[in-house]
Structure 1
Amino acid sequence: MTRFHYFHLLISQPTHPFRDPRALVHYIWCRVIMPVDALHISQHWDAATIILSYVISVTGSFCTIQLMEQWRFEQRPRKKRLFLFIAAVVLGGGGIWSMHFTGMNALQIRLENGEALSIDFEAWLTILSFILAVGGVLVGLLIASRDPFFLELEREKRAQLLAANLRKMNMTQLMKKESAERNIRFTAMFSRLWRICFGGIWTALGVLGMHYTGMLAQRTNLSMTVMAPFVVLSCIVAFVTANAAFWIIFRLLPLWPSNESLRFVSALIMGIAVSGTHYSGMAAAAYEYSPINTADTASFVVKGSSASTVASHGSLLFCFWISGFYVIRPLRAVASKFYVLHPGSTVHSDGATVGPNPSQSGREASETGRSNADQTGPRFQSAQNRTGEGSLSPSAAAVAAYRAKRKTPSTNMQQIMPN
């Protein structure tokens, strides 16, 4: 039974069912040798494995968010290329590909007599699926990372970008705070999204190619048919969720850079997007028992249980190692350098410094003076918050730039968007 036999049957069945000799064997086995009742199979989903696959996708998404923030503030071209490639491996390989094979192992197929069928994978198609996932995400990140709003770090340049998109607003609307707030936020989040959408399309194509290549890599006593409506549904889910994930990374998070809870929620949403694409694609597959084990015809087979274990544990360890090496280690290096320059000082989690350290000076904390938030020192917040920007919010700066362009007197406005 060739791996594409049932795809062929979907198109040309059943005028010539014996055109393929293996189809003849399957027909005789199903209709003559084995009773029909013994061919019934049942599918069960393991809840623990499904939860594990979701945790893998969330971990990969959160690590990718951190890496792209580091990429954004990195000035060296070689290091930027390295960050982008690692982010593609983490999201495409760790968050998507590993989640895919872990999720496939959650499907348990049993015969009517209770015998469980072991599902193996052809190694070469499995490797190809990994390349498709990483390649699609890499191309998508290359395109989406050129988004001008994501690239511009200085608040003044962001203000110019926003002001360029506010020309349709008249001065009456601009003078109204609530109206200006709505228009500026909408402009900052939804204007000129073609790079993000184009990058999301490439990523979705890579994910879909990875998913269906991985399903074709299955080797067991089963033949698979694909139901077209669910294939269309999985494609729609992939394109929508990929663009939503990129919009979160490249537009939503830069607007609220100091909100750590938003990062975690964004990773949860991206995990749902990855899992939704996978399980909607799995719903497109219908299995039927086959007397021929396709694992016997493969040149190189990977055991399904082993592949799932390596993918799940390896991806989690890889994501944690990458986060520690490329995100936490630079912060620790900055802290060590600051401590050498300012011995006895301590740095709070909000970036404020207190010195000298009461434990070293032998004085009470109340005697050391109040915190000096404006004192030079590293801020242990996300990289998005270490921009050296002033107190003026991007929206207020955009209004100021627009008014200056129109040569109208500016008025004081409170912050409209959070830093």
Structure 2
Amino acid sequence: MTVLLEYLDGEQILHRWDAQIVYLSMITAWTGAYTSLTIMNHLQFCTDRFWYAVFIIISGLAIGVNTVWCMHFVGMQALHLDGGMTSGAQGAVTVKFEITFTLISAFAPWLICSVALHILSGRKAEDRHKIDCQMVVRLVLAAALIAVSVVVMHLMGIWSQSGNFDMEYSGLVVLATSLFAVAAAVIVAIIFSSPFLPPTTLPRVIAAAVISASVNCTHYVPMTAAIYRVNLREDVIFVPGSQALKINGLYIAILFSWSNYFLSTVCDSYVCWKIKRDERELAVKGKVQAGLKLVTELPCPLFLVSAEDFLSMPEEELRSLHEGLRPTGKLLTLDTMDEVMELKKTSRILFFSYEWLSWLKVGPNKMQLMAMKTAAVNVAKELQRPTSQIHIWIDILSIPQKHAGMKAMAVDSLYAFAHCADIMVIVVPDCWHEDTGVKADALSYSERVWTRVEQLAHCSQHGVASMFIQTAETFRQLPDGWMETVCTVLDGTMTCCRKKHPNGCRCDKQTLVIPLLALYYNIYKQNLGGYPSAAAKFVWDLIQKKGRDRMFPPNIQIARDTGITEVHELFGDTINLIEKIAGDGSLYEAIHGHLQGLASHVLQGGNNYAELASAAAQTLAQLLKYVFDQMSDGVTYNVGALGVGTAFAREEPPRDQVSGLPRFLAALDGFPASSAIDMLRVSDVCRNVQEIYRTQHVFDPVADPSSWRTRDVSGMLVARPAPEKLLFTMSKAVPLSYSLIAVAPRAQVGAQELTSEYQSMFQGTGGQSAPSSKWMSEAGIKAEQNCSAVGLAYSPAHCLFDLGWGLMLFSLSTEPPFD
């Protein structure tokens, strides 16, 4: 207790303000407001909910605590109670602050301001800058919350004071405080709203100064009207058991200035990381797109020679290379992939893969050339085609040799050329390298990086069934285990590596990143879709067996001729980014992949109708899974794996997750259906089922607005979701349509109420959960005798079964369930 010998009990205490500390409180609020504005400006880079929540929380901390609360307690240090108005006594009256209320006064504005900022920023990214009625409503709500936080903080800060005094303030002071708080809150809310949020530093500094001035006025104007009177009794503690401490305003200002710096650094670091990550993803997407162009657009014209001309070609003509053969008219030039496809209607492309065995002479040696001609005849027999219907790709004829630019383009297109070929023959007669004397055979061939790339490219498109080995004596299909050896492409050898990259030249392995990224993307995408081609499944199994890091190593060691070994990034983390990109693919791509699989099955002469039906069911399951994920609006309703059969599928969701089903059903409700398919159903369960309750859902062109045409199972209007066009495309591509049935109606939204029948059906459920099993049984018996008393028909030609709690049923049917 402070002893005040000269003061009179109850007399008014004179008070004065320290201008320097007042300025300090303004600077403290200024830095806190600037920090919060900076964080909110960074919020536009947030793409996930976790970081959005983090930014909102720390921005609320910066404005609620570092601005409002710090300004108050630093400003209270500017107040000096010194001198009795009646007695003329001198001596400062000590002011302490109660710990409990002080902490609460900091937490309350933090929480309330965070909610206010969320209200201001909670719209979709594309709508945040719109100034419309919704923005005005959000602005008013946010301003009201900010005003409440300022008033609550100010009053609790005053109540937390402890000392030998009593504080008096009139109703006018409270009113003035509230009015100032409202004015300040409106200013803060407007500045923090997305349309007016300052984007650059100078406007942000000015806006922070305005916020600081508003908050300081809210504090100092009412405080100048407050009256302090001496109370010689023991210090009053507002909360029993709490303690009162003297707070040093300078320490608070320093501490929270560093806090502002820390919060800004966190946000800046996140934004820098996010920008770099996005740039890296864009770079990876660019590489993938460039790689995919290798197989969708010919980077270089494809030059072919007919097998008939190749077999009759003397070695001298072959040695004249591409440029020598070009004037003879024997080279077929294909400039586009459409021309390649047109050629394949009447001919097949044979790709010869071999290794050069001389440093001075280009192309095959005599033994290899003989093996190639033998292979061409063997392929013609294998395909049962005349040699005139087979066109050959061989490097020295199909790649320009004299024009450096064209040669480089063609070499970079080897992946595409091998991908286009229908047949690949690996030419490996036992020979010896002309310069090194090293034996060349199948083993030495399999160790070359370039030949490995050619084989993997062809295998990823056609599998191993179209790959053959031609030796001097035999022509046979690829032996078992061959691809397991050559699939680790970058474990092979290259000439540049053997020469140790003289003069700092680039390793040729680095040029293979783009085509191999495209290969992985294509393989991963197909297997992710659930219906990969046999070739894609085979290569994917190789990747799983060998390991991603071995087939697509993150780094590469490059040995230099100086004796130094350098480590360079090769794939880095691009494989992980590719999986993310592929996983974020559009619905169109997912469905397109499945439909390609179905079409491939049909074109290849598949007549197993059970397999075809199963494939169609898998396609529909993938569609439903994707749409459900997209319509969950950021909230995951895990209804488990959808079991899909050829006639119908069932899913019994957990009780606490069933409320998510209407959103799921709304995603597919009301889309155009294709022609009907007569599906077989269990005759003793659903026989001659008629429409029930359809009249409750028919669109009324007079009473209903046009936007109410799409509704879910409870009659609630829902917005038509984005996948509508794609679903329609799917229905045109394959003769499938759908009917969806659910157990979980939702409460009606808007002016229109549920009909009395629906109200009685779902009475007691709150519109959020399924009706009881007892009600289901009774309703089923009453509504539909043909459902064998086991369920209730919600849509044409189907029943909703009751298995104790609830059940979801979907199937292929004639038309959508409702208008």
TM over 0.5: yes
Question: Equivalents in 1 of 2:12, 2:154: separation in Å?
Answer: 26
Question: Equivalents in 1 of 2:195, 2:228: separation in Å?
Answer: 41
Question: Equivalents in 1 of 2:43, 2:194: separation in Å?
Answer: 15
Q: 1:305 aligns to what SS in structure 2?
A: coil
**Does 2:252 align with 1:278?**
no
Report 1:60-79 matches (<5 A): 60-79=32-51
The offset of 1:283, in angstroms, is 3.2
Deviations 1:339-383 (A, max 9, x none): 9x99xxxxxxxxxxxxxxxxxxxxxxxxxxxxxxxxxxxxxxxxx
Hey, what does 2:115 align to over in structure 1?
A: 139
The offset of 1:295, in angstroms, is 4.9
The offset of 1:330, in angstroms, is 3.7
In the alignment, which of 282, 285, 305 is matched to residue 247 of structure 2?
Answer: 305
Contact 1:121–1:217, Cα closer than 8 Å, also in 2: yes
Counterpart amino acid of residue 62 in structure 1: Y
Give the 3 Å change call, closer, same or farther, for CA 338–138 of structure 1 in structure 2: closer
Question: Equivalents in 2 of 1:120, 1:299: separation in Å?
Answer: 15
Hey, what does 2:159 align to over in structure 1?
A: 216
Question: Equivalents in 1 of 2:6, 2:235: separation in Å?
Answer: 19
The offset of 1:282, in angstroms, is 1.7
Hey, what does 2:76 align to over in structure 1?
A: 104
Give the 3 Å change call, closer, same or farther, for CA 48–252 of structure 1 in structure 2: farther
Question: Equivalents in 2 of 1:296, 1:232: separation in Å?
Answer: 26
The offset of 1:95, in angstroms, is 0.8
Which has a greater percent of helix? 1
The offset of 1:233, in angstroms, is 1.2
Give the 3 Å change call, closer, same or farther, for CA 195–37 of structure 1 in structure 2: closer
Report 1:251-400 matches (<5 A): 251=194, 253-254=196-197, 257=199, 259-295=200-236, 299-306=241-248, 308-328=249-269, 330-331=271-272
Give the 3 Å change call, closer, same or farther, for CA 61–293 of structure 1 in structure 2: same
Give the 3 Å change call, closer, same or farther, for CA 102–191 of structure 1 in structure 2: same
Give the 3 Å change call, closer, same or farther, for CA 301–284 of structure 1 in structure 2: farther
Give the 3 Å change call, closer, same or farther, for CA 333–146 of structure 1 in structure 2: closer
Count of residue pairs the alignment pairs up: 274
Question: Equivalents in 2 of 1:37, 1:123: separation in Å?
Answer: 26
Question: Equivalents in 2 of 1:190, 1:268: separation in Å?
Answer: 29
Question: Equivalents in 2 of 1:81, 1:205: separation in Å?
Answer: 22
Deviations 1:138-194 (A, max 9, x none): 22112122356xx427xxx96xx5xxxxxxxxxxxxxxxxxxxxxxxxxx4998412
Hey, what does 1:152 align to over in structure 2?
A: 126
Deviations 1:28-61 (A, max 9, x none): xxxxx98869945210100011111111111110
Question: Equivalents in 2 of 1:240, 1:319: separation in Å?
Answer: 25
Give the 3 Å change call, closer, same or farther, for CA 216–330 of structure 1 in structure 2: same
Counterpart amino acid of residue 241 in structure 1: A
The offset of 1:289, in angstroms, is 0.9
Give the 3 Å change call, closer, same or farther, for CA 318–34 of structure 1 in structure 2: closer
Moved over 6 A (4+): 335-339
Contact 1:63–1:323, Cα closer than 8 Å, also in 2: yes
Question: Equivalents in 2 of 1:322, 1:309: separation in Å?
Answer: 20
In the alignment, which of 17, 37, 40 is matched to residue 45 of structure 1?
Answer: 17
Hey, what does 2:105 align to over in structure 1?
A: 129
Counterpart amino acid of residue 52 in structure 1: L
Which piece of structure 1 moves more, 210-219 or 109-118? 109-118
**Does 2:169 align with 1:197?**
no
Question: Equivalents in 1 of 2:7, 2:187: separation in Å?
Answer: 49
TM-score (norm 1): 0.59
Question: Equivalents in 1 of 2:134, 2:165: separation in Å?
Answer: 49
Question: Equivalents in 2 of 1:197, 1:333: separation in Å?
Answer: 32
Identity across matched positions, percent: 21
**Does 2:68 align with 1:90?**
no
Hey, what does 2:187 align to over in structure 1?
A: 244
TM-score (norm 2): 0.31
Q: 2:247 aligns to what SS in structure 1?
A: helix
Counterpart amino acid of residue 22 in structure 2: I
Counterpart amino acid of residue 207 in structure 1: V
Hey, what does 1:394 align to over in structure 2?
A: none
The offset of 1:284, in angstroms, is 4.4
The offset of 1:281, in angstroms, is 3.3
The offset of 1:201, in angstroms, is 0.5
Give the 3 Å change call, closer, same or farther, for CA 214–332 of structure 1 in structure 2: same
Give the 3 Å change call, closer, same or farther, for CA 276–79 of structure 1 in structure 2: same
Contact 1:229–1:284, Cα closer than 8 Å, also in 2: no
Q: 2:89 aligns to what SS in structure 1?
A: coil
Question: Equivalents in 2 of 1:262, 1:57: separation in Å?
Answer: 16
Give the 3 Å change call, closer, same or farther, for CA 71–335 of structure 1 in structure 2: closer
Contact 1:84–1:141, Cα closer than 8 Å, also in 2: yes
Counterpart amino acid of residue 14 in structure 2: S
Give the 3 Å change call, closer, same or farther, for CA 142–296 of structure 1 in structure 2: closer
Deviations 1:303-352 (A, max 9, x none): 3333x24422211110011112211564378579989x99xxxxxxxxxx
Question: Equivalents in 2 of 1:217, 1:320: separation in Å?
Answer: 28
Task: Identify which of structures 1 and 2 has the higher relative contact order when contacts are C-alpha pairs closer than 8 Å and 6+ apart.
Answer: 1
**Does 2:28 align with 1:56?**
yes
Question: Equivalents in 1 of 2:262, 2:209: separation in Å?
Answer: 20
Contact 1:121–1:218, Cα closer than 8 Å, also in 2: yes
**Does 2:173 align with 1:230?**
yes
Question: Equivalents in 1 of 2:98, 2:89: separation in Å?
Answer: 27
Give the 3 Å change call, closer, same or farther, for CA 133–192 of structure 1 in structure 2: closer
Give the 3 Å change call, closer, same or farther, for CA 35–315 of structure 1 in structure 2: closer
Contact 2:112–2:149, Cα closer than 8 Å, also in 1: yes
Q: 1:115 aligns to what SS in structure 2?
A: coil
Contact 1:120–1:301, Cα closer than 8 Å, also in 2: no
Question: Equivalents in 1 of 2:209, 2:78: separation in Å?
Answer: 20
Question: Equivalents in 2 of 1:329, 1:235: separation in Å?
Answer: 38
Hey, what does 2:744 align to over in structure 1?
A: none
Larger radius of gyration: 2
Counterpart amino acid of residue 21 in structure 2: T
The offset of 1:114, in angstroms, is 2.1
Deviations 1:56-87 (A, max 9, x none): 11111000011111223200111100110111
Deviations 1:2-50 (A, max 9, x none): xxxxxxxxxxxxxxxxxxxxxxxxxxxxxxx988699452101000111
Contact 2:151–2:181, Cα closer than 8 Å, also in 1: yes
Give the 3 Å change call, closer, same or farther, for CA 189–264 of structure 1 in structure 2: farther
Give the 3 Å change call, closer, same or farther, for CA 81–199 of structure 1 in structure 2: same
